[in-house]
Structure 1
Amino acid sequence: MSGPAYDPVPWSNDHADDVPYNHPMSPISPTTRFSDYRTPETEPLEYHDDLPPGAARPRFLGAALAREGPDPRESYASSSASLPPADDYSSSVYALNADGARASNYNAHYHDDPHDAEFSGSQQSLSMGKNPYLTEKRNVYPTGSSKRRNWIIGGIIVAILIAIAVVLIVIFAVVKPFDKKGSSSNSGAAADDSNHGTSSGANPTATNTPSSAIVTGGDGSKITMDDGTTFTYSNPFGGTWYWDPKDPFNNNAQAQSFTPPLNQSFNYGVTPIRGVNLGGWLVTEPFITPALYEQYQNSTPQAIDEWTLSQNMAADTANGGLQQLENHYKTFITEQDFARIAGAGLNFVRIPIPYWAIEVWDGEPFLPKTAWKYFLKAIQWARKYGIRINLDLHSLPGSQNGWNHSGRLGTINMLNGPMGLANAQRSLDYIRIIAEFISQPQYSDVVVMFGVTNEPFGPTMGQENLVRYYLQAYNLVRAASGVGENNGPMISLHEGFAGLSNWVGMFTNADRVGLDIHPYICFGTQSSDAYSTRLDIPCTTWASNQNNSMKNFGVTVAGEWSNAINDCGLFVNGVGLGTRYEGTYASGGPYPSLGSCDPWTDYTTWSTSMKGDIKNFALASMSALQNWFFWTWKIGNSSTTGKVESPQWSYSLGLEQGWMPTDPRQAQGVCDSNDAFSGQYQSWQTGGAGADQIPASFSSSYAWPPTSISNGGFATALPTYTPTGTIPTLPVPTFTASAKSSISAGNGWANSADSAGDFVPIPTCSYLDPWVGSAAPPSPLCSGAAAKRDLSSPSPAPTTPPKL
């Protein structure tokens, strides 16, 4: 696949000495470099303008565009159950016939069962004639049986059964469930977070009840999945699962005793985010799912990204065509993965999804709408195991960074080039559609965080335009959800490779906006040094930056990081690109060969000592980053070797093989004082007074749309869309069993007042391919009345409400 010419980076020469500032339309020499803002990947690669034709851009290329200390920045990458009686002594008979030993439980000493024992220090059988309590009573009534007596006894039994059922319902539906404003004796925001051992609380034993009635359980309980298969739940941290098909939106589940259940608010800054990415599932990547790509390495086109993978699969009708991707969705991540994640002490998952989960336009080869079906399954599984979701919009029209995980390897066409504004309009539509869905009360307690765009390449787009885009995204999300705690998701903004310090002062008094950073060390200067000599890197490199950002901006989360300390691994840099470590990397360099990657990728040969060092590296990273999502939960096997070829990137394999901690709380204090944020968030608003009061000066300075687009020109001269289309509302899940006719799954749209249409092409205007790269805008752009378009309005005019 031939790569188009490089799009020059629009950074001006007229920047202040202390803080560089971007002017999208300023002229700039293509050779301009700021020597003090370089990446460890070597200076020529800083803006990845030296890639040979056909070479893939690295997955992560972190341009160091802001000072964060004296050293260059590192590279960046892409409730318990209602229980049956434990024994006979908790029966209704013994509730009345309690001896002194049971007085604390029942506060009674009365015995009214002739078959029971007398409690006088030892248990003795009593004959009917010797019972001291019932003789007078028995003499009053005649012996023998009668229909009337049977009816009376039967009525009493029925009444008792009804009473027991009512009590169970009250206990289960009223007493046990948690309230957002209430508390529970076995939970709390972080009540026992300092306890690194197994929870001492008793786990539910709901498995003693008939299987049809089991809706919750803890460690050791048996779980039956939708397909009828079963497995045993393993969670040593006091977590409880909860799933009742008759009550599918119940949020009683709790991942661990030290994590709040879903129906309590998550206390950011108090309870750490300990999460993992589900990379490679709904957005495929060659190094995560190599077997999908290996089968089409000799095809034309070669499968190097999901675009070319989809083209190959569509042509491969003998093996199922494009539906092969759905088979991947079904098998790569399943319900058991969510159960294992909770059992690993993790409380969040970050799930990358592509825009084609919503729709595709003509000419785009992706499998449309199918990934959303499986994201709905993810919501159900996360709800069942008490795990919260960070939904990350990972792949955008035209590509926001030119890397393979954006959907198509090549040029950046979002906020860059002649189609940059049109693709941004379309991307904002998808952000709005997703926000409307996840802001519905049925989903808002599970999908609590929304990463609106993964790794937009700010050096090309320009930070000013990226801020404009983010502010418009913020407005759309808050229009869908409203303002305040529990009203829609926290909004996560990737820092766009501008550096955390360049975001200080942005989004002050915004309602729940956090920063996302992706620290990796594996794509910089390579070293053959062992893990044991590099254990101080996370603490000395990341911890202070995270603390400063949380103090000066607000919640700052490492959305991606891994255990890799070099770029070894199959397809890690991209298909066919080789590695820096072995001196075969296809771009930049030359890189000296440091030897073979085999010792770093063949985990079957790793010693106990090496595994221990990797675990210590992981603990140091967790400690320094504080709130984090490991990349990634699972790496698939190579179809050629039959094993994982990038083992340092797999959390689940690390658990199995012993180089990941079984209790992530062990990371607490590893970085000593550097890792403990104890200050106050300066601009983090949780919905109280002052929330969503962004200064008017900020809103006006970063109004949407931009006046110009990098490598495109003035916005008025570029192709744009019009908001007159029908909104492709996301579908809601369906449930096969429900005893409550009043249960509603929502309609995909939280705010009925949001009635603007979808952005679609203007019939009288001309457009380029959304993935065009460098090109001149169409001329003439439009004909007739449409030629004069007003782009100044930040919000589209209302049209007919979408059909829900």
Structure 2
Amino acid sequence: MAPQESPRRKHRDRDRDCEQHRERRRRNSDIPKRSRHQPVSSESSSQALSADSLAKLNLINQQERTGAQEVTPKKTRRKRQPEIVNEKVVVERSRRQHKRKKRRVVSGALLEEGKSQKLKGLRGGYVSDGGSDNARKKKRLWLLIGIVLVILVIIIVVAVVVSNIKKGSSNKASAVSTSDSGAPSNSNLNGVSESSVPASAKGTDLDPFSWFDTTDFNVTYTAETTGDLPIMGLNSTWDDSKAANENVPAIATAWGSYATRPARGVNLGGWFSLEPFITPSLFTAGTVDEWTLTTALGSNAKSTLEKHYATFVSEQTFIDIANAGLDHVRIPFSYWAIVTYPGDPYVFRVSWRYLLRGIEWARKHGLRINLDPHGIPGSQNGWNHSGRLGAIGWLNGKDGALNGQRALDMHDRLSKFFSQPRYKNIITFYGLANEPKMTALEEEAVLDWTSSAYTLVRKNGITANVVFGDGFMGLENWKGKLTGMEGLVLDVHQYVIFNSGQIGYNHAKKVDYACSGWTEQTQISMNVATGFGPTIFAEWSQADTDCAPNLNNVGAGTRWEGNYNVGDAATAVTKPGCPTKNSDCSCKSANAPSSSYSAAYKQFLQMFAEAQMTSFEEGWGWFYWTWKTEAATQWSYQLGLAAGILPAKAYARQYNCTPNAPNFSGIPETY
């Protein structure tokens, strides 16, 4: 607080002021009085003051009455008439008054508390009595400056926000817009009322407010179905005018013959049909397939897998595939995308809408589709990518016939849905069952089922080529089988690493075999006199070992190191299978990051890949397995491009099997 003035000083100053006042009254007693508002006329006494002098006098009188404190309001103050004095008196009085006031010091506390409204214009610790107007002007000036600064800050903030919004819109194709929580923004739900979704559909796959990601989906609720499958999420229009690259026709234009213009494609494995070697981060201890994974996840299975569906593949994936010179995409999916059965732990129908969105993204970038049912009711091969590792329950065992019919029912619904006009141009290959293990199944049962499935989908309007698996029977053994079915195409998967004899080929032999052996097999299969006829190669890779973690099933070991065992003594490998056939065979080296690859090894990997492309184009084309993995470079087209072991454009290769491959003598044969 400000210090209090002493009572003694107050009385002394007051007595002195009173004596001075009485002296002035005696000297000016003969001067006539006038009203405080009355102007001085030109006829007044010779001692009349100018207007400026009168104003100064009034100010001095007022200061004397108030003692430099706030002026008392009119209604509580006794009116006094101002005295008229000459200018000399005014000047002298002002000088004395200024000298007396100058001795008053403003305390720091008074200034800090803002209580010196009348004590502005501080100079060297003293206050000038004439600074009140300047202070008010300064106060207004600072207030104006403050307002201007606030306005500038608001303008800058608004500009930054608008810029970020525009930047987010321009990057929409490359990444899903996300909120601070890391989840997609789902801004297309803005303005949509949750009440538009019936109570019976709340929280189901038809409720867009329950979806993890709504990007590029139509979020207007509908219960409409085609083939008893929901169209929810589909936009009503589509555009088939895009071509993947300048070497192939737009989707709206017929492809022509695949025998003369083979497909160049890639799989999207591990997206809807999970495999531990593709996405090991999803699999915890004790989980070996999607059955055990969803069982372990329990109530968290839906949220976990939907996030995977929404993020593992994006629109940018299809952009990158097209930019790599590819023109087709094979999309594996499993039966639980459309139906589940009692006892199934699988996540029901969530992947369905992501499959449909993926097809639309492919369309947008000119890529044609190969639909691939990778998991069939009961499992068609007992391998983990079918959904459940173990026994084959499709066309085999006590529920074999039941699961065979369930698989036909699945195709009844799928074929009705995909025979809609919007899919006529883009779906060019329609698969029936991936890799049925005909070496363990009754051949006639598989052939009968394949014939029934073909007839069914054609009846329901599928005009695309219908694909069936070779069943690992050997290409020569398909001569004369399943004849008379127009557009039926044999699907062959070629790998050297899953064959105990071929995995031991050295690097030069692997390239030579890809050029000669697989070219010969392709030609045999394509000729109806020696094989089935139309043949595609829908899976292959450039891996030269089976060392990728979990590739042979979780914990199964490898043929390369000689510790492969899946519980079947007939298939177990107990000796190293690498070219040196000894303990030097190393999966540690084989699984090293691509940054450690030598120039010679990179040359081999690219030549091996391009040799296979060349051979498979003797048939109806090829689909690399797969586009994306979390770590296995030699199984990922995406990682292979980044590592420099694949051609930048699939249609512009450096090696086409001539001349013969070099001997690669500088590359160790142990990895």
Q: TM-score, normalised by structure 2?
A: 0.60
- Name which structure has the greater RCO, CA cutoff 8 Å, separation 6+: 1
1:617 is paired with a residue whose SS is helix
Shift of 1:663: 1.8
Equivalent of residue 554 in structure 1, options 533, 536, 545: 533
Structure 2 Cα separation of the partners of residues 668 and 226 of structure 1: 33
Matched, 1:617 2:603: no
Tell me the distance in 1 between the aligned counterparts of 2:561 and 2:235.
57
Alignment of 1:358-373 (within 5 A): 358-373=338-353
Instruction: Report the 3-state secondary structure (helix = DSSP H, G, I; strand = E; otherwise coil) of the residue aligned with 1:665.
Output: coil
State the partner residue of 1:474. 454
Query: Partner letter of residue 365 of structure 2?
Result: Y
What CA RMSD, in Å, does the superposition of the two structures yield over aligned residues? 2.7
| Structure 1 position 261 matched with structure 2 position 250 | yes
Please, which of 291, 298, 304 is the counterpart of residue 288 of structure 2?
A: 304
The whole-number CA distance in structure 2 between the counterparts of 1:247 and 1:415 is 39
Distance 1:594 1:426, change over 3 A: farther
Partner Cα separation in structure 1 for residue 325 and residue 255 of structure 2:
16
Pick closer, same or farther for the CA change 1:600–1:473 going to 2, 3 Å.
same
Residues 610 and 655 in structure 2, CA contact (< 8 A), matched pair in contact too: no
Kept in 2: contact 1:357–1:371 (CA 8 A): yes
SS at match of 1:408: coil
How far is 1:551 from its partner? Answer: 2.1
Which of 448, 463, 487 matches 1:488?
Answer: 463
* Residue identity opposite 1:256 in structure 2: N
Task: Return the match for 1:281 from 264, 267, 271.
Answer: 271
Output the amino acid matched with 2:598.
S
Preserved contact between residue 400 and residue 413 of structure 1 (Cα < 8 Å): yes
The separation in 2 between residues aligned to 1:528 and 1:456, in whole angstroms, is 26
Q: CA separation in 2, counterparts of 1:291 and 1:545? A: 38
1:459 is matched with which residue: 439, 447, 454? 439
Alignment match of 1:505 (pick from 475, 480, 498): 480
In 2: Cα distance, 1:246 partner to 1:418 partner: 43
**Counterpart mapping for 1:540-551 below 5 A:** 540-551=516-527
List per-residue Cα deviations over 1:284-333 (Å, max 9, x = no partner). Answer: 0000111001xx21xxxx1000000001111xx5xx44320111101111
Provide structure 1 residue ranges, at least 5 long, that are not aligned to the other structure. Answer: 1-210, 216-220, 230-241, 482-486, 637-643, 675-804
- Distance (Å, rounded) in 1 between the aligned partners of 2:497 and 2:414: 33
Q: Aligned pair in 2 of structure 1 residues 243, 448: CA closer, same or farther (>3 Å)?
A: farther
3-state SS in 1 of match to 2:460? helix
Structure number with higher helix proportion: 2
1:352 lines up with 2:332 in the alignment: yes
- Name 1:702's counterpart in structure 2: none
Give the aligned partner of residue 636 of structure 2.
Answer: 650
Report SS of the residue matched to 2:421: coil
Decide whether aligned partners of structure 1 residues 650 and 529 sit closer, same or farther in structure 2, where only a CA change above 3 A counts.
Answer: same
Aligned residues: 422
Query: Does the Cα contact within 8 Å between 2:545 and 2:560 map onto a contact in 1?
Result: yes
Cα separation, 2, equivalents of 1:371 and 1:500? 34
Structure 1 CA distance, aligned partners of 2:482 and 2:370?
20
- In the aligned structure 2, how far is the partner of 1:460 from the partner of 1:633? 30
**Larger deviation: 401-410 or 440-449?**
440-449
Q: Describe how 1:60-209 pairs up with structure 2 within 5 A.
A: none
Q: Is residue 336 of structure 1 aligned with residue 330 of structure 2?
A: no
- How far apart, CA to CA, are the structure 1 residues paired with 2:552 and 2:436? 18
Distance 2:443 2:464 in 1: 24
Q: Distance in 2 between matches of 1:259 and 1:657?
A: 27
Structure 1 pair 425–418 and aligned structure 2 pair: CA distance change class (3 A): same
CA contact (8 A) 1:558 1:628 kept: yes
Change (3 A) 1:519 1:470: same
Structure 1 counterpart of 2:99 = none
Summarize the Cα distance change of 1:368–1:606 in structure 2 as closer, same or farther, 3 Å threshold.
same
Query: What SS class does the counterpart of residue 536 from structure 1 fall into?
Result: helix
CA contact (8 A) 2:173 2:316 kept: no
Deviation at 1:532, TM superposition (A): 4.1
Gaps of 5+ in 2: 1-164, 179-215, 219-233, 567-571, 577-582, 661-671
Q: Identity of paired residues, percent?
A: 40
Structural mapping, 1:390-401, within 5 Å: 390-401=370-381
Match of 1:380 among 356, 360, 373: 360
Give the alignment's TM-score, normalised by structure 1.
Answer: 0.50
Taking the aligned partners of 2:465 and 2:282, their CA distance within structure 1 comes to 34
Which residue in 2 is equivalent to 1:515?
490
Q: Secondary structure at the match of 2:377?
A: coil
* Aligned counterparts of 1:224 and 1:338: Cα–Cα separation in 2: 10
Shift of 1:665: 2.1
Residue 524 of structure 1: how far off its partner (Å): 2.1
Identify which range, 618-627 or 592-601, moves more after superposition. Answer: 592-601
Could you tell me how far apart the structure 2 residues matched to 1:354 and 1:565 are? 28
Q: Take 2:614 and 2:455, find their aligned partners in 1: how far apart are those partners?
A: 34
Paired position in structure 2 for 1:160: none
Contact preservation (8 Å) 1:450, 1:490: yes
Give 1:672 shift. 5.7
**CA–CA separation in structure 1 for the residues paired with 2:562 and 2:523:** 36
Paired letter, 2:280: P
Structure 2 SS opposite 1:620: helix
Question: Which of the numbers 571, 575, 598 marks the counterpart of 1:591?
Answer: 575
What displacement does 1:246 show?
Answer: 8.5
Which residue number in structure 1 is paired with residue 512 of structure 2? 536
CA contact (8 A) 1:305 1:405 kept: yes
Q: How far is the alpha carbon of 1:548 from its aligned partner?
A: 2.0
Deviation string for 1:623-678 (max 9, x for gaps)? 01111111000111xxxxxxx1x22111100001100111222459813699xxxx
CA distance in 2, matches of 1:223, 1:343: 18
Q: Distance in 1 between matches of 2:655 and 2:324?
A: 19
* CA deviation after TM superposition for structure 1 residue 348, in Å: 0.6
| 3-state DSSP of counterpart to 1:274 | strand
Counterpart amino acid of 2:575? Y
Alignment check: 8 A CA contact 2:467 2:490 kept: yes
Structure 2 residue aligned with 1:604, among 592, 595, 601? 595
Structure 2 match to 1:118: none
**Aligned AA for 1:549?**
S
Give, in whole Å, the separation in 1 of the partners of 2:389 and 2:479: 32
- State the one-letter code of the partner of 1:556: T
3-state SS of 2:252 partner: coil
Mapped contact 2:301–2:347 kept (Cα < 8 A):
no
CA distance in 2, matches of 1:373, 1:222: 23
Give the aligned residue type for 1:591: K
What residue is the counterpart of 1:37 in the other structure? Answer: none
CA contact (8 A) 1:500 1:545 kept: yes
Q: How far off its partner does 1:569 sit? A: 1.0
The answer to whether the Cα contact below 8 Å between 1:352 and 1:392 also exists between their aligned partners in 2 is yes
Contact conserved, 1:581 with 1:594, CA < 8 A, in 2? no
Deviations 1:29-52 (A, max 9, x none): xxxxxxxxxxxxxxxxxxxxxxxx
CA–CA distance in structure 2, aligned partners of residues 222 and 548 of structure 1: 48
**1:363 aligns to what SS in structure 2?**
coil
Give the Cα separation in 1 of the matches to 2:485 and 2:366. Answer: 28
Residue 439 (str. 1) matches residue 419 (str. 2): yes
Partner AA of 1:275 in structure 2: G
Query: What pairs up with 1:2-13 in 2 under 5 angstroms?
Result: none
Larger Cα Rg: Structure 1 or Structure 2?
Answer: 2
Change (3 A) 1:246 1:459: closer
Cα contact 1:256–1:342 (8 A) shared by 2: yes
Cα gap change, 1:421 to 1:512, in 2 (>3 Å) = same
1:228 is displaced (CA, Å) by 5.3
